[in-house]
Each structure stands twice: as structure tokens, then as C-alpha cells.
Copies of this chain bind each other. A is one copy, B any other.
């Protein structure tokens, strides 16, 4: 075990995967000499050379499109999108191309491609750098959408992502990059997709979250514990595939549920959580499932982003209301 932050866990995992399998490549804007704008790829160029760690021109669609071709040629590209907000420039290469190539070619061209991208707010970035856009990718059949919240999960899920023969959008919580630290196994620890994690046990209510919202949920749980409300926190870890069983059991166990996410409310992935719970745990529900999310407004500039991104206080209030309801 080592104590690492998210960035260190990601960096170490990329290094190990590059060393493990020479088909693996890292590519993206500024991933080479600079080591990425957050240093997630720090040192990789020196260690593995410019053939395997490649600074790309400033063109997201070309980065994803080229990754598709690299994969078709037999390599395993791990591409970085500098911010998830700029995935939109490559949107047509993701859902309609990358995610669909295996189906289109009827299995001839599996797509072992990882798209890594930091996302999420709370760190005063310029415009378009902080949006939580994960739900927009869920309707890309064929694409896994992975949202680790802890360094250990970042390692385990990234290992699985790199070793998967299917494409993965790997969303890294910007806010947690340096702030969130934790114990990370030194040995191989791939975590299968589609298995949620009970981040904290509890009896009265289940908070469902992913990525940086998990820590918000945990802090809310701390506050609520002092009031005698026992909160289970479920970290979905992957949105696609979704751990339906884990989710339904976790909600059925408490009969009450609050979903927390950074994206705007409407059509956020929280809606899918509610719908899945409605479908699988309806008869256990003692209160409506509550959603704590950002408002349906543009991600705002830094001075007011703390009003936008769901806070511990808003989660606490929603849990209190949910526990009282019914």
C-alpha cells in the first residue's frame, strides 16, 4: 500500500501499463514534455520515448479519430482530452465512431481505447473547463463511462480500462486530483466495471454519488451522523455499465435515497438513477428519491461556482427532508 493522491495514482498506473504492454501508447495535447497540464503524464515521455508518449496537434477530433485507427492497427491508445469540456470538439468521433466500431465491423475491430479527461468544478477554472458532462456520453452504446472517486479506484478502474478491448471514457475528478488522497495497493488490482462500492455503511438513507460528489456525500454523512441519521454512501464508480443490482439493493436496504451529482439537474445521470430505483426498488421506497444537482444553468464563472456545485449543506438538507418524508 502507498498513500497517493488521484494524480499520483493515475500517473503510476499509466507508467505501469506502458511498461506492462508495449502496445499501450499515451497521446494528447501537452502530454509529453510538459507532462500534461496537471502532470498526470509527468515523466512518461522520458521513460518511454516520443514514439509512445505523443504530443498531438490541437485537434480533439483528430486525437480520438487517430486513436480509432491506432486501435484498428493493433495498438492500445490511451488518449488524454485536456478537459472533458473539449470532448465536444470530438463528439462525432466518440459516440458514432469509437463506440460503434466493434458493432459496425461485427467484431473485426474491437476498440481498446481509453479517453481520459478531467472534469468537474470547484477549482475556479476558466469557462468550459469544469462542466460535468458525463451524462451526455451515456447514450453512446458501446462506450463505458467510468468515474472514479478515490485514488485506489482510479488505479483499479484505469487498469481495467486499459486492458479492456472496449472503449472507455475515463472521467477524472479535477477537484480531487491533488486533494483526495488514499491508500492504493501496490500490486495489480483491476476493478471490474459495473460494481458499485459502498463507501460508507448506513441504515436510514442511501446517498448515491460518483466522482467528486462522493466526498461531498461522505462529508454530509459525517454531519448527519451527529444528528443521529445513519447514511449509506454508494459510489457507482461506473455509470456504464451500471451496477443495477448494487444500486437497487443499497436503496432497498434503507428505503430512502438521495442522488448527488455536479451536472445540472435535468437529464443528469441522477435521472437514470431515480428511474432505475423506481423500476427495481419501488415497493421498498418510503419517500421519493431526491436529487441534489446543479441548477439548469451554464456552469458559471469562479466567483459563483460554489453556489452552483452541490454543497454539503444542500445534501444535508435533502437527506433531512427525505428522512422526514412519508
Contacts and interface: CB of A to CB of B under 8 A. Distances in A.
Contacts of A49: none
A89 B92 contact: yes
13 contacts: A86-B92, A103-B297, A103-B298, A138-B266, A139-B263, A141-B297, A141-B298, A267-B267, A267-B269, A270-B275, A278-B278, A279-B290, A282-B287
Contact of A282 (B272, B279, B288): B288
Contacts of A100: 298
Interface stretch (A23-31, A50-58, A127-135, A150-158): A127-135
Contacts of A267: 135, 138-139, 267, 269, 271-272
Interface in A248-301: 263-264, 266-272, 274-275, 278-279, 282, 285, 287-291, 296-298
Contact of A127 (B86, B104, B263, B268): B104
Contact of A278 (B85, B266, B289): B289
Contacts of A136: 136, 139
B272 A291 contact: no
Given A88-B91, A96-B88, A278-B278, A139 B288 contact: no
A28 to B, nearest CB: 17
A95 interface: yes
Given A141-B264, A141-B297, A279-B288, 8 more contacts: A86-B92, A89-B91, A103-B298, A138-B267, A139-B267, A267-B272, A271-B272, A282-B287
Contacts of A278: 274, 278, 288-289
A275 B298 contact: no
Interface string A160-204: 000000000000000000000000000000000000000000000
A95 B88 contact: yes
A298 B10 CA distance: 31
A139 B240 contact: no
Contact of A91 (B91, B135, B269): B91
A89 B139 CA distance: 16
Interface of A: 85-86, 88-89, 91-92, 95-96, 99-100, 103-104, 127-128, 133, 135-136, 138-139, 141-142, 240, 242, 263-264, 266-272, 274-275, 278-279, 282, 285, 287-291, 296-298
Contact of A275 (B85, B127, B138, B275): B275
A287 B282 CA distance: 8
A88 B95 CA distance: 9
A95 B91 CA distance: 12
Contacts of A242: 266
A242 B278 CA distance: 20
Nearest to A138: B267
A104 to B, nearest CB: 7
Contacts of A279: 288-291
A285 B274 CA distance: 14
